[in-house]
């Protein structure tokens, strides 16, 4: 590792704020890109399943 201590790694010779902010935002964007389709897909599937159940119940009544 290039840095000798955790303090050096965090401060990055005065550039720590810029570097760590950029990396945090980077990870947030990656996480959003992963979670967004997973959660959205789940909601959609649940919605479709509910709709299919309603339709089949209506068919049974008829």
Max intra-chain CA distance, the chain: 76
Task: Tell me the C-alpha distance between 57 and 50, whole Å.
Answer: 11
Give residues 13-52 in contact with other proteins (rule: CB under 8 A): 13-16, 18-19, 21-23, 25-26, 29-30, 32-34, 36-38, 40-42, 44-46, 48-49, 52
Task: Tell me the C-alpha distance between 54 and 27, whole Å.
Answer: 41
**Under the rule (CB under 8 A), what is the footprint of other proteins?**
1-3, 9, 12-16, 18-19, 21-23, 25-26, 29-30, 32-34, 36-38, 40-42, 44-46, 48-49, 52
């Amino acid at each position: 590792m290039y840095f000798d201590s955790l303090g050096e790694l965090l401060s990055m010779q005065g550039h720590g704020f810029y570097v760590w902010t950029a990396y945090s935002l980077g990870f947030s964007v990656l996480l959003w890109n992963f979670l967004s389709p997973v959660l959205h897909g789940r909601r959609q599937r649940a919605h479709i399943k509910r709709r299919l159940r309603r339709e089949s119940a209506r068919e049974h009544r008829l």
